[in-house]
Amino acid sequence: MQKRVQKILEELSGDSNLKKIVLYGNSLEFSCNSNSDIDLYIEKFNKNLPLEKEPVIDCEVDIITNLNHKSRLYEEIDRTGLRLYESKDSGCRNCKVRKRK
């Protein structure tokens, strides 16, 4: 599981629109195994822009983006999730509208 998460982070690392990445759900439980999916919450500076590159790995990856911070799901992810990445920038440097290739 750790190698898969590391690969995801490497693939997403060049996206300047990423504000925060949080691992949550079964991925953090003792019952997690090699067949488990990976649940990620990704917060973007500009929520209307797609990810520059979606991670491609050998298991299912469920990605949720830009939840309302008052929602119960966001509060649960924020409380129990493992923060993998958080931008030190206050805003996206290159967040002009990009078209997906």
For 46-100, write each residue's pLDDT tens digit.
Answer: 999 999 988 877 788 889 999 999 999 999 999 999 999 998 876 655 555 444 4
Contact 21, 81 (CB under 8 A): no
**83 vs 5: which has the higher pLDDT:** 83
Q: Find the radius of gyration of the CA atoms of the chain.
A: 14
Question: pLDDT tens-digit profile of 17-35?
Answer: 999 999 998 877 766 666 6
The residue count for the chain: 101
Global pTM?
Answer: 0.80
Domains and CATH numbers, the chain: 2-86 (3.30.460.10)
The pLDDT assigned to 28 comes to: 77
